[in-house]
Amino acid sequence: MLSRCGDDLFAITAGSTAEAQALAARLREVGGWLEVVPGIESVLVRFDAAQEDGADAQRQIEAALAGPVSPIESANELLEIPVVYGGDYGPDLAELCDRTGLGADEIVALHTGSEYRVDLMGFTPGFAFIGGLDERLRVPRRKEPRQRVPAGSVAIADGRTGLYAMASPGGWSLIGRTPLPLFDPAAAEPFALRPGMRVRFRAIPAERFDP
């Protein structure tokens, strides 16, 4: 479903996060847009209203999405992420035990026991929203966000895992941290994660953390 939501914006409703990512990729291939931003189940498309009529922009979007849209290529990539859970690396793990009624080992087992998929990137550069979290680990965001969350932190909130590629403020519950570099400004692909990528978490002991 396509709808106008501003002087220079259109919103496209998608059936899933994977579909939203695929629609965004198709629109970027066509080009001509100021911005294409995929969400959980939607895509925002911003066009240059000073240079193009809204009706023309709508026709271009409809034409671009008229045919079948293939899943993005990164959907087949699997990245294993080592994580030190609890302690100084995951300072909210003990609190999560109280909130969920689960032991620390149970939380770690649930978090490492599934394969996930990166839904989208955003909030801060490289921050990954990862879906598929076990419902037993569903907790809301913290009432008081931290002013600084270390890079590599692994956090959960609202049914998702969040990965902080860079140090930043944040309000998710921190359960661990990964030594895997999530951001390398010198690399051709600066961020280790991309939308659609498959992810598994693996628990490692604190002595193996070497940032």
- 52 lies in which domain range? 2-71
Domain tally, the chain: 2
C-alpha pair distances (Å), 109 with each of 53, 67, 123, 186, 199: 54, 42, 28, 35, 15
Judgement on whether residues 62 and 84 belong to the same structural domain of the protein? no
Q: What is the CATH number of the domain that holds 134?
A: 2.40.100.10
The β-bridge relationship of strands 198-203 and 78-85 is parallel
Domain boundary among 71, 103, 119: 71
Domain boundary among 51, 71, 91: 71
Neighbours of 6 (CB within 10 A): 11
User: Among residues 193, 187, 159, 188, which one has the least CA distance to residue 173?
Assistant: 159
User: What string of pLDDT tens digits covers the 211 residues of the chain?
Assistant: 888 887 888 888 887 777 887 888 888 888 788 888 887 778 888 888 888 888 888 888 888 888 777 666 555 678 999 999 999 999 999 999 999 999 999 999 999 999 998 988 887 888 999 989 999 999 999 999 999 999 999 999 999 999 999 999 999 999 999 999 999 888 888 899 988 889 999 999 998 886 5
Judgement on whether residues 91 and 191 belong to the same structural domain of the protein? yes
Judgement on whether residues 15 and 104 belong to the same structural domain of the protein? no
Q: What is the CATH number of the domain that holds 43?
A: 3.30.1360.40
Judgement on whether residues 144 and 111 belong to the same structural domain of the protein? yes
Domain boundary among 40, 71, 102: 71
